[in-house]
Amino acid sequence: MTLVALLLIPLLGGIVAAWCGRWSASAARTAALGAMVGALGLSLVVWTQHDFGITSVPGVEGVPSPWVLEYRAPWIPALGASIHLGLDGLSLLLVVLTNLLGVFAVLVSTREAERSGGFFYLSLLWNVAAVVGVFLALDLLLFFFFWEMMLIPMFFLIAVWGQDQAGGLTRNRAALKFFLFGQASGLLLLVSTLGLVYLHYRATGELTFDYDRLLGTTLPPDVAWWLMFGFFLAFALKLPIVPLHTWLGDAHCAAPPSGSVDLAGLLLKTAAYGMLRFTVPLFPEAALTFANTAMWLGVLTIVYGAVVAFSQHDLKRLVAYTGISHLGFVVVGIFAGTGQALTGVVLQMVAHALSAGALFLLCGEIQARLGTRDLRQLGGLAEPLPRLGSMVMFFAIASLGLPGLGNFVAEVLILSGTFAVAPVIAIGALSGLILSVAYALLMVQRALHGEPVGAGGFSDGAGAGPLLADLSARTLGLLLVLVTLLVGLGLYPQPVIDLVNAPLHAIEAGYRGFEFAPVFDPAGASSP
């Protein structure tokens, strides 16, 4: 029942917060915070009380389940669908990350919750619950249910509490664009899932959506390729990769800061998880034939995202495109298939969630003080706002991959693991690191240094006046927690590596018999 509790706590917490919102936004926030702290505490207790070093093969008779915790209950027996939840080290890490950022999002949402606070926290917590469901679902129909459920709360977060932007971009338009791309992703996922289930039924006579049972389904090569491609496109739309990325910048620019924290830190990671958990293990041979193309698309995403970020004037849109660039490394690492690369993928998911979430929060803090995020209207913020300036500086250099921080370890593992099997692709991806230095330093120089351009009404850098109040102690404390986590991940990533080591071995076993195996080789010399 622990897995059910991980889902029910944010779901019920959202309902309680909505009810408390009838009295005040602060009461709703207290209820939401209590629920998220409880969910985070429970996930941390699970981490400390269970052994996540178990390695076994899912879907193979006579072999123990790879899931450290598992829950089954009937759902739609006529379709072979059940409420099947499972937790291993990979999913636990992402559940902990989700709950941590959920706490973070509640604590930084004071401004947004001033209007319809109960409904706001209902949307925020149900979005968190849907993301947790994605990481726990082991029935593909249940996975699809949570995949679609994520769209609705985020749609409201953007449409109701977002901001209209200059140039004709309204929050309603951005929310609709986000929803339509999400629906396209869901449609591809549903069609591909139904095709796999039908072919499994024809081959075995068993109608099931169970992940463990669908692994290893015998499929004609051409059919397997198209099904794999359907799963890949579904997740590529949500990740997103170039050229399927056009919705992300608009969604981030219109979303409130807490919505951007959820979008960058949580929703995008569900797509990376889907590729890692479903696309390659379900269709290993087809993934092998598509690996080079997928990795080159990852390189394109890395380079394009970095170049476009360099040309942005809106600080939030700049951070959004840096995220697209960094998530290109995830695609490269997944399809490289070596142990080093896959370990780097997981670390990249965590490091990007922490650094991007912090940067989006800081974008909101700048706009709240100065009334703009336009880099052409900023400058000289480091002197009047030393706390804010130091945090922007830290998370900017974290995003460029400074040694000693989590982003650096992740990208080095991805590049070294990829170089072992595809040197040219690794060199192409390496160019993204060079470009990241340019856009990170540009952001720092334009926003923090030089002469003030006049935004916010200050011209001498003195910083007097309420609009230029520095970061509050609470916000600074939250950001320092993320600073600590990024430094810890950079200097001592071993606890996270140990946690996900067994799931990577389990995925390796799913590749058994194919040249794409193994995915975990301590020497990093696996070859697809």
Cα distance between residue 429 and residue 171, in whole Å: 34
User: Which letter does DSSP use for residue 377 in this model?
Assistant: G
480-494 pLDDT, tens digit per residue, is: 999 999 999 999 999
Helices (H), 275-385: 280-282, 284-310, 315-336, 339-370
Read off the pLDDT of each residue in 95-109 and give the average, rounded to a whole number.
92
Q: Whose CA is closest to 269, among 305, 240, 232?
A: 240
Cα distance between residue 451 and residue 380, in whole Å: 5
Q: Determine whether 162 is exposed, middle or buried from the number of CB atoms within 10 Å of its CB (0-12, 13-18, 19+).
A: buried
Q: Residue with structure tokens 């700048």?
A: 366
Given pLDDT bands bounded at 50, 70 and 90, which one contains residue 525? very low
Cis peptide before 403 (omega within 30 of 0): no
**pLDDT at residue 521 tops 60:** no
Cα distance between residue 459 and residue 457, in whole Å: 7
**Percent of the chain scored above 70 by pLDDT?**
89
Contacts of 351 (CB under 8 A, 6+ apart): 398, 405, 406, 407, 409, 410, 486, 489
Collapsing DSSP states into helix, strand and coil, what is residue 314? strand
Read off the pLDDT of each residue in 101-125 and give the average, rounded to a whole number.
87
Give the dihedral of Cα atoms 283, 285, 288, 290; nearest 10 deg: -60
Q: What angle do CA 387, 392, 393 make, to 5 degrees?
A: 100
Cα distance between residue 261 and residue 107, in whole Å: 12
Q: Where are the domains of the chain?
A: 2-460+467-510
Cis peptide before 518 (omega within 30 of 0): yes
Given pLDDT bands bounded at 50, 70 and 90, which one contains residue 10? very high
